[in-house]
């Protein structure tokens, strides 16, 4: 999947994946990560999600990675923040109080650039990537965050009926990518009301990923 795919979606305003409010699955289950206030949460492929505003309002710090500069310009405008903008390697960093977003290819984000992360919230990253990229993504995510605990949201549906993204990622695949590093717990499975994109029956699963005991 080329970067141009996402740039064109933002340019044309084709962002049906963007929600106007914080994701209710985040607000219902975030406390299961047992984070202290001030903890730093990483949102990969974050777009301009309202989940960031919710996390900031609830006393957490946010780090993110996003391909689209337009999305992040809109994010800071909607947050009412004026970012400091700087170049970091191949990336552009947008920073303000309690928030740092790296714009560019997530595979260019390093642990050194990112700094300490207490948890990951993956609402739309793993499921946004085609199958041949998901293994690489999961490995990279664990590497740059030292396998920080995760709240992960996935979809499961008949992939032959519609194209992703979001792509169907079943339990076996989640365990294949993350089972060696984490203990995985499914904390909620629900039907997608009206079907995914209004076209196909789908379930949505919230996973809690906690570091496996050594």
Region 42-49: mean pLDDT is 95
Predicted local confidence at residue 139, as pLDDT: 98
Structural domains of the chain, ranges and CATH numbers in brackets:
3-151 (3.40.50.150)
* Residue 45 clears pLDDT 80, i.e. is over it: yes
Q: Report DSSP letters for 115-132, one per residue.
A: ---SEEEESSSGGGS-HH
Q: Which residues contact 172 (CB under 8 A, 6 or more apart)?
A: none
45 is in an annotated binding site: yes
- Whether 61 and 40 have beta carbons less than 8 Å apart is answered as yes
* Residue 65 clears pLDDT 50, i.e. is over it: yes
Q: Which residues contact 57 (CB under 8 A, 6 or more apart)?
A: none
Predicted local confidence at residue 86, as pLDDT: 98
Which residues lie across from 62 on neighbouring strands? 41, 99
Best CA proximity match to 91, nearest among 118, 72, 116, 77: 72
* Residue 16 clears pLDDT 80, i.e. is over it: no
Region 100-110: mean pLDDT is 97
**Global pTM value:** 0.92
* Residue 15 clears pLDDT 50, i.e. is over it: no
10 is in an annotated binding site: yes
């Amino acid at each position: 999947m080329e970067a141009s795919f996402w740039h064109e979606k933002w340019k044309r305003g084709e962002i049906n994946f963007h929600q106007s409010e914080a994701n209710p699955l985040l607000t219902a289950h975030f406390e299961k990560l047992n984070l202290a206030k001030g903890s730093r949460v990483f949102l990969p492929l974050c777009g301009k999600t309202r989940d960031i505003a919710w996390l900031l309002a609830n006393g957490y710090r946010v780090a993110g990675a996003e391909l689209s500069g337009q999305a992040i310009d809109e994010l800071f405008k909607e947050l009412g923040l004026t970012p400091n903008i700087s170049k970091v390697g191949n990336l552009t960093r947008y920073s303000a109080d309690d928030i740092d977003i790296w714009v560019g290819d997530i595979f260019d984000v390093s642990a050194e650039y990112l700094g300490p992360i207490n948890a990951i919230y993956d609402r739309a990253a793993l499921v946004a990537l085609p199958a041949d990229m998901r293994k690489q993504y999961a490995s990279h995510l664990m590497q740059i965050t030292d396998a920080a605990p995760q709240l992960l949201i996935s979809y499961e549906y008949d992939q032959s009926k519609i194209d992703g993204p979001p792509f169907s990622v079943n339990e076996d695949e989640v365990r294949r990518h993350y089972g060696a590093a984490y203990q995985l717990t499914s904390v909620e499975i629900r039907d997608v009301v009206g079907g995914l994109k209004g076209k196909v029956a789908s379930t949505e699963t919230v996973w809690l990923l906690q570091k496996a005991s050594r």
